[in-house]
Structure 1
């Protein structure tokens, strides 16, 4: 039998300090598959392009370098790579992240063993710009997630860890959208697998992070992601819990930034969209706030009594 073909789409912009680590971590994976990498360099002004070209000379046709001119923006850059992707499976990676050994083989075996699984993710270690380990991306463990669960619990999946079936690249690649909308799209075509072992690395708060530079826009795209789910695919209770969890996130953000106007703005929108009315929607949001506060309290308590546990970037 011929080996499966895997196409890895990598977007990068001014990441000269990270891009070599990223690409080598992909191309040096030990896996029984034909792995090709597409790199979309979004008109970098540093040495990113020179580094990728040098790696192209080393790895040959396994690495295709696309130099954008002019700058396309992160969303359009990845969209074009996905349109070019060929093969049986596709992965998405940001140029400042990287993979750990064994990742691709573990995920390929997972998808081939579970034909109804649409995409498989893994946990990730979180690292700073210097590469020092901070903690873990999430506390999910080994789980299966369907569309309803992903909507109710919100986004805790690491985008740079995903491997999905190439047949699922159509339908969600138009327009600006955050990772959560892509995850929700994948969940419309089968359940999502999550491997609790960290097999990727995610750099926190790097220069160019949309969460840092365009937090308001990311929030609007998150709401768009929730609205992108066809209502006939989920119950009113699933949808109400999804928007209640969104309001929980807004509440935490408003408290951290002392921005009550932010909370008032989104409360009106969430109330208008909820199928349950104000009182029940408020109760759902408060329940989610209390649940998350309890989890945070438990983590602080375990730290105080000396039990070592890595900090999580996202709690489910």
Structure 2
């Protein structure tokens, strides 16, 4: 791997013994006509993940670079370590419990070739559970093939992180600067610099609610980080976007906090109003004044629509 690759694929893993082989081999099998490297950062897994990675390195020594951390550093530092090692002109990300379909990278590179203004390209995803059972669902229904920051903020975070590929010169926007990071903030940062591209075809398999899932294990923190992400762009949101904002998306996080944390419920007005600007207040008012009936219709997964994040 001495020659510089066009694409770096970054895989974060922790206790993914049931999934990591399929993840890695799905990337090895990509049909893209370009040189690419695969970098894996194993956050001191306590299961057999390391043994499986050792075996994969023997099978694919020219493709794989594995970092086995001696001590568990958590998802924030593991993500930083991994993406800082990427050398390619384009950098793709995949969580170790997800995997790709063979044409993913090829179709994303074609999209980049035809859309020089795009900072990143994402795809739709098939949804499965930790036992590999398919939900007969996709991650999104139809999404615009190119969109800007306004669209992303209006609709909420509908992007699958394991589908992301971005331009290397924007790496500083992707590598988190704080342990309180969420993929939505990464997407927002990339959208500040240009258009985001989207391929509606499902080219990723996303496993929902696995044992090591960030959503499953840090739901309260995620809710706060989603709201923080919204605050970060409040001044950039036009009035027309505030009026049409996807209250279903944002309210699910606010209600999750209220249901799990009575203290947060009591302090919500202080958190929302203290030291924030008027545009953000308008956004919060739109979210918080919707009817309780509408809030209760908002679920993390809506089986009747067969879409994980319906727009």
TM-score (norm 2): 0.85
**1:125-204 paired onto structure 2 within 5 Å:** 125-134=126-135, 135-173=137-175, 174-176=177-179, 177-204=181-208
What is the distance in 2 between the residues matched to 1:294 and 1:8?
Answer: 38
Mean alpha-carbon deviation: is it higher for 140-149 or for 172-181? 140-149
1:139, distance to aligned residue in structure 2 (A):
1.9
Mean alpha-carbon deviation: is it higher for 39-48 or for 261-270? 261-270
Find the counterpart in structure 2 of residue 116 from structure 1: 117
What is the distance in 2 between the residues matched to 1:241 and 1:260?
Answer: 29
What is the distance in 2 between the residues matched to 1:251 and 1:224?
Answer: 12
1:171, distance to aligned residue in structure 2 (A):
3.7
**1:23-38 paired onto structure 2 within 5 Å:** 23-38=24-39
Find the counterpart in structure 1 of residue 307 from structure 2: 312
| CA deviation string 1:33-82 (max 9, x = no partner) | 11110000000111111111111111112110100011111111111111
1:250, distance to aligned residue in structure 2 (A):
3.4
Contact 2:8-2:39 at 8 Å conserved across structures: yes
Residues 123, 293 of structure 1: CA spacing in aligned structure 2 closer, same or farther, 3 A cutoff?
farther
Find the counterpart in structure 1 of residue 64 from structure 2: 63
Contact 2:223-2:254 at 8 Å conserved across structures: no
What is the distance in 2 between the residues matched to 1:280 and 1:185?
Answer: 19
What is the distance in 2 between the residues matched to 1:157 and 1:211?
Answer: 14
| Pair 1:41-2:45 in alignment | no
Mean alpha-carbon deviation: is it higher for 287-296 or for 221-230? 287-296
Residues 139, 246 of structure 1: CA spacing in aligned structure 2 closer, same or farther, 3 A cutoff?
closer
Q: Which of structure 1's runs of 4+ aligned residues deviate more than 4 A? A: 236-247, 257-264, 276-281, 283-296
1:249, distance to aligned residue in structure 2 (A):
2.3
Segments of 5+ residues of structure 2 without an aligned counterpart are none
| CA deviation string 1:85-110 (max 9, x = no partner) | 00110011100000012111000100
Contact 2:223-2:257 at 8 Å conserved across structures: no
| CA deviation string 1:139-159 (max 9, x = no partner) | 243432211221222111100
Residues 165, 198 of structure 1: CA spacing in aligned structure 2 closer, same or farther, 3 A cutoff?
same
Instruction: Please give the secondary structure, in 1, of the residue aligned with 2:193.
Output: coil
What is the distance in 2 between the residues matched to 1:45 and 1:151?
Answer: 38
Contact 2:243-2:286 at 8 Å conserved across structures: no
Instruction: Please give the secondary structure, in 2, of the residue aligned with 1:96.
Output: coil
Instruction: Please give the secondary structure, in 1, of the residue aligned with 2:54.
Output: helix
Contact 2:139-2:308 at 8 Å conserved across structures: yes
TM-score (norm 1): 0.84
Contact 2:40-2:67 at 8 Å conserved across structures: yes
What is the distance in 2 between the residues matched to 1:145 and 1:290?
Answer: 31
| CA deviation string 1:167-220 (max 9, x = no partner) | 110144222211001000110111111111110011111012122212111112
Contact 1:245-1:288 at 8 Å conserved across structures: no
| Pair 1:212-2:216 in alignment | yes
What is the distance in 2 between the residues matched to 1:144 and 1:250?
Answer: 26
What is the distance in 2 between the residues matched to 1:277 and 1:218?
Answer: 19
What is the distance in 1 between the residues matched to 2:249 and 2:266?
Answer: 14
1:228, distance to aligned residue in structure 2 (A):
3.3
What is the distance in 1 between the residues matched to 2:44 and 2:4?
Answer: 34
Residues 202, 235 of structure 1: CA spacing in aligned structure 2 closer, same or farther, 3 A cutoff?
same
What is the distance in 2 between the residues matched to 1:165 and 1:154?
Answer: 22
Residues 277, 5 of structure 1: CA spacing in aligned structure 2 closer, same or farther, 3 A cutoff?
closer
What is the distance in 2 between the residues matched to 1:252 and 1:280?
Answer: 16
What is the distance in 2 between the residues matched to 1:204 and 1:219?
Answer: 17
